[in-house]
Each structure stands twice: as C-alpha cells, then as structure tokens.
Structure 1
C-alpha cells in the first residue's frame, strides 16, 4: 500500500460557505443589455469591427501573463493537473493516487487549504515585472478548474472565501496600477463546461453532490454549453469588468464554440461601452476565429507570424516550454530566446504576452527572477528599438526561418546575420532600428537591408548609433550592407541594437502608419 503521509489535510466540507444561488439572472442580464443599448457599440459584428486597439497597447510591446491557482499546490505536470489527475492512465492520475490516495477520499478540491500564499507580496510582484520592462500585467482571474482568484458574488469557490481568504486578483491589480502599469485579466471559465468530466467516469469526488457547484458541470466536450452555463459565463465576465475595470481581457480558445457566439458579441459591446463610459481604452484578446476580424486583438499561443501584419496582434508564450504553471521540472528558456521572441513579434507589428509561473506560496523560482531581471537589463539598453515603434518595410533578414502558426515556437539558436527591424518617426525625424539577435563575434555588424544598392533604404544616412553605447561607432555603407563596429558595451547581453538617423526630409510622424489605410509591406527579400 502506498504511503500517504505526505497528503495534506482534506478540505473540511462542514466549514464551507453556503452555495450561491445563481438560478435567476434576469435582472443582471437586463443591466447588461441596458449598457449595450446605450452604445456607442452594439452587439453585432459590423458595429464591433469599428473598434481600434488603443495606442497604449500598440506602444507597450511587452505584457506579463500569470498562471497561478490551486493547481500550483500539487505542482505536477501543468496547470491541467485538475483534469489529468482524473484521467485514468495518465502520469498525473498515477501520481495522484500514489501520493494522495483514492480520488473519492482526496480530490482536487482538497488542495485548497494548502493554497495559503504565505509569501505573496503583490507590490513586490509588480516591482519585479516593472523592472522586467512590462507595461501591463494579465493574471489569470479564473482558470479551467473553476476556482476564482477574485472576489466573486456568483460562486463560493473563490480565493476570497477559502484558501488564502483574500481577493488575490484585486490585490495584484491594485499593485499593478500603483507601479504605473496597466492591469488586465484573463478568464478561462468557458472550458469549465467539460474540464472535470473525467472524474464522472469512476468513483471520485467529482460525483459528490456537495461540491457539484465547484466541479460541475463536468459535461462532455462533444456537447454545447446550455443557456444557464452561457449566462453564467457572461455574468462572471461582466463581474470582473465592473468590479476591477481591467483594460485587457484575454480569453482562451473554447469561447470559439458556436454556442458562445451571441454571448461574445453581447460581452464585447458591454465591455467597450463600459470603457467609453469610464473614459479608458481597453483590449479584448482572442484566439482562432472567436471574434470577427478587427473587432478585437487576435492572439496566437506559443507561435509566430511569418511577416508584418496589417493590424496589431499578440503572441502569448511562457518562460517555460513545458508548462504555464510552476512545477519542479520546468524546462526554462534562456534570455537570448526571450529577447528573440520579443524582437520578432515587435518587428511584425505585434505585442508579446510573456507568462511567469508563481509557486503556491506566492514566491518565484530564482530562475524566473533572473529571466525577468535579465529582460529588464536588455530593454534598459535596447528598449528604444522596441517600445513605441512600428514595423519598417521588412521585418527581418538572415538565414534562420520562422514558421508561422500557433504552437510552433521558433528556433532557439539564431546567427549574427539574423536581424529584426523597427521604425520610429517623431519630432526628431525618421529613425530605423536593426536588432541583431546574436552579437557578432567579429565585432562588426553587417545589415544587408541597409546596403546602398538593394533599394530598400533610399534615404541618406545622417548618423549611426549603437544603443547603450556612449560614443558614436565607426561605420560605413557599402553597396551590399551597412557595416557598424559594435564596441564592448553590454557584451553580457544577447544581441545588440543599432539605430540610424536619416537625412531630414518632408515626413509626418506616423506612429500608426499601418492603421492609416496603407497596405501591408511586401514580404522581405531573401537575404539569407
């Protein structure tokens, strides 16, 4: 027999708050429809396609994602532990039985008392991510498991009522704003329709009627959500909007199901109209085809675009390759890989949402702290080539190719010939940036796209800088390339960024040049 001495004390069901009755939603839905009716957006795609992403988001370039929940207590496999631990034959199932005993005696709910967050300091978190160079933070307000990290009136299963007994999301949102960043939220509630259904196929606590409001509905993936679930999804999301006023609202993939379609339109109109009422600019982020093009910001998971996009978009990825939540066997990326992901996304008109993985006690693995600080050092030296920029004529040059799509994270090893380009036009004129993804061993950078004979850069170069270096470098422009001596500064950082100033000409500042009716730039020439 397995030794279950390490098993935490199960949740005492006699101490639970009373269940919340959410059977009558008529008045709450009427209030939602009143906001939709007041405009300026109505709940149809034609109206919603009049939305434009705010300047602050397009300029921000880097946000922080945070996956932290009850699944951080077992810290095994991934944030999908609550589902996989009930799927017979999985490593999570075997681990659960061997470590904690039968599911009827100890289920996922029984991890809640150990989610104590003794080391959670929201102001320290905000300061760490501010140091990393982030402009907005998007914590998971509720993941697929159904445990709300915010203070909800629609469920008793919240961090405010059990476990840590604090409004975790609210505390972090307030700290984010105190640190001068934008607070967002993600909700994965849609997936809860089916997430715990493996536990209905054998004798487990998922079948216990006393906790049905936590584990349920636990329905089949093949079935469409019913009206009660869809209304609850809408009203839980509205609750987050009204209680916390997040300026980013991120949705995971399952809201693309056809049953959600009218509710998505209703929710988007509500959110945009509330934002207009409050005088703030907001962003909805979605995957696949959940929203009509142009009605929100398209997000891809762990992926890339092959070329410059005509509209702002987002890539969400994590500092870990194998999980969005912390566990002891994380496969962490290295700083050069994170820098390359950021530069590639920005050069193609995108924003990077980079996930970090807090431990159950509210602290971070030291490797994540080092990555955050390293990214901040890199942006301190080269951030001018990132923040507030827009794409140039081409996004990239070099031999290493990036595959377009979701779940196709790019190469981990780039060469010194792999370069990403950005552009800025302001009162100082036009400035172009070349971000070398690897520092040249010879000490001389060669930017082929800026050679005099290629025809991409027709203006004369007035000056060249290596960002973060105190003195102008030696440089020359040949028919084949712009050659720049890099110098010794910031040699401990991955890559390097070069800025060129162009000779003055009649040019208007066009920070949003992609959004002003111009077509997308042509694909990059082959400069491998």
Structure 2
C-alpha cells in the first residue's frame, strides 16, 4: 500500500529549488526553536564547566596529556557498537539515509527517490515522518546484553545520538527523543542497566557535532528542513564548505556558531551527568577547529567527574582530533601497521557496507572478524564491532549467527586475547595489512603462515590465521634460545608435540578443530617472555 501511495506521490511531487537562507537567518530559526531549553542548557553547562576546572585535569591540552588509559579497557579487548535509530525504519543503505534522502541529484539521488516513493512527497513528508514508525516493539535490552556477553564482549557502546539529531536517551534539551516520540522508551537508560547487569562496561557515542550541517541538502529546495517548526530536529543545516589548503590537506570552513558549540557541550555533558558512561566516543568532526576549546572543556569535565567517583574512563577520538596522549585514538574501519605505543581502538561494522540496518545487507564472516581481532590486539589495540538492529528492536539473524560464532571462538581461545599485552613483535607471515582509515576490506586473505602474538604471565600466545593443510605449523619468531616447555592448542585444550630448530618452532597438529578457522597456541616458557614497553619499543614484522 505504501508503495502504491509512493508511486502517486512521485508523480505529484512539485518541489522546486530555493535559495538557502543565510547563516544569520538559519541561526535565528534554530535558536528560537531551542529557546525552551535555555534554562536546562545553562544549568548543565554551568556544572560541567565548574567540574572542568576543579580536578586533576583542566581544559588545557598540555594538562590533558596527563591522561592514562584505564586497565579495564586494556584488558577488555573486544566491544560491541550499536547503530540504531530512526534511520533503521527506512533500512535503506544505512545510517546516512536522513542526509541523502534530501539529495535530489548526483550520486545519492536514489535515496531521495526511495524517500518520496515510499513515504510521500516533499515538503509534506520528510524524515521527521519516519519517527512514528520507529516503534521498537520487540526491543529487549536484557536479551541484547546477554547476546553481547555471550559473544565475548566486555563493553558495549550504543549510539546515544547520531547525525540525524534524534536522541535515543532522555534529554532535557530536546523533545525529539526516543522517550517523547517513537518508542517512548529511554533506550540508552534501559541498555545501560542491562549491560552493566551482565558485568560489561557501558560506552556511549555522540555524533551530534556533524548535525550542524547534516541536513544541508534540504535547504536547497522546498523541503520540511526549511520549516521553522522542525528546526529543533533538523538543526542549523548549514552548507558544508571545505577545500584543500596550501599543504594539500582538506580544510573545513563550515560555519559553527557559539550557540551551537554551547549546545554541543551541554548535550555531551548531559549524557555523562545522567548515565556516567565508562567510555565516550566522538565521531570525526569534533576535530573541526571551532570545536577545539569546547572539546578540551568536555575532556576535562569528563575526566574530572570520573576521577571524583573513582571511575576509569575512556574518551575515543579519530584522526588528529585530540592531542596525542589526551585520549584513546580510534581508527575507523582500519588498522595499524605495527604495535602502537599507546592503547588504541579500531571500529568496524559487521557489514562491509553499512553501520545501521539495511535490507539486503551483506555481512563479514566470523573468520574475518576474529582475524581482525587478533591483528588489532597483537598491536596493542581493541576491536569495537558494530551491529545494526532493525527498527522493531530485533537483531538480524545473520548478525546473531556471527556473534554466536565469535563467542564460541572466544570461549575456547579468549585466554590469548583478554588481558594480554603485545610481544616483541606483533606477528610474522606474508600478509601485510593495509593500514589507515577506511581500509578494512583491502587486506588480502590471511594464510596459515600468518601468525599474531600476544603475551600474558609466562605465556606467549601465537594465533595462526588459517589452518595448515600439511598438519604442521612453523613459527619462525620462536628461536631455540627461547626455551619452550609446552605448547597447547586452545581450541582442544590438548598439548602438542613440538620441536625447536634453528629455523623456528615446529608443531605437529591434530585433526582440524571445527568452528572459526583461526587457531591459538599457548606456548609455555620458564620465564616471562620479553614484551614491548609502554614507550613502544616495537620490533618490525
């Protein structure tokens, strides 16, 4: 029925191009829409800024280099990311749907065609009209948390607010929230309780910085983005402007007002004040120059309020958004080439194409994900693996199957992952990862000659990325001078016959164990195997 209505709507669509309002008009509309929250915003900001200046940290990037990543995070190694929101209703190519639904021409024009064909013509219908369809009627936070724990996760990071501006938590600064619309539930509050009941740490993600320009394409024609009644949802929707500087690097010149920076700081601080997350994650645009001071103020507030409660917290950032040593770096859909001296994180999705749920989506194999985990952990990192639930609150069966498979592997082999630290070198073998952001599908398949190493107590762990058809494994990095006393295949718990030769450690293997095709060996030595220092004296592969 919706498709028939949409087909008629396409024929009747009479949108036309308009001249976007200037920055002053945009700010006036946005400020007026947010005026009802001025009192609450000022109260939150006042408390946050007071805390930022009263504690071991201060909003100064030099002082913030005193930050230390907590041990719980270094031990956890594996977390679950959750992209879930109104965009899950459309289920069309992922979480950037609300932006692309307003692009009438160009690479993403199919999103606009899908929007009007499925939901109706603009300006009468827009992204806001998907909110009543976001019912989350089957959302069971306890079942989600149990699944994540079974998968081997030690922390969970749901998105509290994505670029679309719809808060999944109980905000005092907006009516456009999951508590007041759509599900009429405090999604974040319920998940927080369930996650912590399972003994996992709670992280929260805010992508609100990007909301400043996210709906900009809706300004270019007669759409509901230009209706002042919806300014509190659609935000400033300023045109994004960037160009390359003299050094060839991209420079962002998008307008950001003082009022928006205050609102961003207040909303970020509100999340911390109300939910006390063990981890906060920001997307890349907080590195825009206009955010730098507000970001320092948030970091000092976050660290100081946590210190007052004796809570060790993590603040994830991307690229060069924060000064090194002031937080924990996160590489989006990418890896490091070698052992990094400071703890870090890679985030990637269970899908190679999307973060939010998309109909007809594709999925990575459990093998790929466990191989990624082993590589990242060997280099002093954590893996944050994303899933995208459906609008009704169910997790796709494909994603559940992958999580179950990872959990089975972690149950047998987690000893080689949890609470480990890097060795003298991260690994050996012919396969080189493609390092950097947005590279996670470009690494060639691993072979049985590829190993990744971790250490814990008197054990060295060698993780073989594939099973050797010969029934024999050889680890070149373990020389005869390293006196090995025993080798155990963690998948079976059985000790293996081995021989130390001049060209390395030779293992005689049993029949191939079933399950994920990545294999961890515990290698016992009389003394603690040498490992990298905190300063990162890492050997090259």
Q: Same fold (TM over 0.5)?
A: yes
CA contact (8 A) 2:238 2:255 kept: no
Q: 1:481 corresponds to which residue?
A: 504
Partner of 1:209: 228
Residue 492 of structure 1 and its aligned partner are, at CA, apart by 2.6
Q: Is the 8 A contact 1:319 1:332 kept in 2?
A: yes
| Residue 405 to residue 470, structure 1, CA distance change in 2 (3 Å) | closer
Equivalent-residue separation in structure 2 for 1:82 and 1:7 (angstroms): 22
Larger mean Cα displacement after TM superposition, 476-485 or 57-66: 476-485
Q: Post-superposition shift, 1:411? A: 2.5
Q: CA deviation at 1:91?
A: 1.3
Kept in 1, the 8 Å contact 2:409–2:515? The answer is: no
Instruction: Tell me the equivalent position of 1:101.
Output: 120
Bigger mean CA offset, 173-182 vs 391-400: 391-400
Is 1:436 matched with 2:464?
A: yes
Going from structure 1 to structure 2, the CA distance change for 1:510 and 1:6 (only over 3 Å counts) comes to: farther
The one-character-per-residue Cα deviations of 1:287-342 (angstroms, maximum 9, x if unpaired) are: 01111100000001000111111010000001000000111121210111001110
- What SS class does the counterpart of residue 198 from structure 1 fall into? helix
| Structure 2 Cα separation of the partners of residues 440 and 212 of structure 1 | 60
Q: Residues of 1 paired with 2:235 and 2:80: CA distance?
A: 30
Q: Could you tell me how far apart the structure 2 residues matched to 1:176 and 1:26 are? A: 31
Match of 1:194 among 213, 217, 228: 213
What residue is the counterpart of 2:5 in the other structure?
Answer: 4
For the 8 Å contact 2:424–2:530, the answer to whether it is kept is no
For 1:441 and 1:53, the matched residues in 2 are separated by: 41
Residue 62 of structure 2, aligned match among 46, 51, 59 = 46
Q: Specify which of 253, 271, 276 is matched with residue 245 of structure 1.
A: 276
> Scaled by the length of structure 2, what TM-score is found?
0.89
- Aligned partners of 2:84 and 2:389 also within 8 Å: yes
CA distance in 2, matches of 1:329, 1:411: 24
- Do 1:20 and 1:155's aligned partners in 2 also have CA atoms closer than 8 Å? no
Separation of aligned partners in 2, 1:137 and 1:305: 22
The reply on whether 1:336 has 2:372 as its aligned counterpart is no
Change (3 A) 1:477 1:224: same
Q: Distance in 1 between matches of 2:530 and 2:173?
A: 46
- Which residue number corresponds to residue 174 of structure 1? 193
Question: Given the two structures, how large is their TM-score scaled by the length of structure 1?
Answer: 0.91
Structure 1: stretches of 5+ with no match in the other structure: 9-17, 453-457
Shift of 1:19: 6.7
Q: Which residue pairs with 1:62 in the alignment?
A: 78
Aligned partners of 1:317 and 1:470: how far apart in 2? 31
Determine whether 1:523 maps to 2:537.
no
Other-structure match for 1:110: 129
Structure 1's 197 and 419: CA in aligned 2 closer, same or farther, altered over 3 A?
same
How many residue pairs were aligned?
500
Give the SS at the match of 1:21: helix
1:14-33 equivalence runs, <5 A:
21-23=36-38, 25-33=41-49
Residue-by-residue CA offset, 1:333-372 (whole Å, 9 max, x unaligned): 0111001110000000000000011000000111100000
Contact 1:20 1:154 in 2 (8 A): no
- RMSD (CA atoms): 1.9
Whole-angstrom distance in 1 between the partners of 2:518 and 2:470: 13
Q: Write the distance in 1 (CA, Å) between the matches of 2:500 and 2:223.
A: 71
Alignment partner of 1:418 is 2:433: no
Q: Secondary structure at the match of 2:156?
A: strand
Is residue 495 from structure 1 mapped to residue 526 from structure 2 by the alignment?
no
**Residue 399 of structure 2: aligned partner:** 368
Question: Residues 44 and 269 of structure 2 are in contact (CA less than 8 Å); yes or no, is this contact kept in structure 1?
Answer: no
Cα offset for 1:7? 11
Structure 1 residue aligned with 2:178, among 143, 159, 178?
A: 159
Please list every run of 5 or more consecutive structure 2 residues that lacks an aligned counterpart in the other structure. 10-32, 242-253
* Map of 1:459 onto structure 2: 482
Q: Tell me how far apart the structure 2 counterparts of residues 377 and 28 of structure 1 sit (CA, whole Å).
A: 44
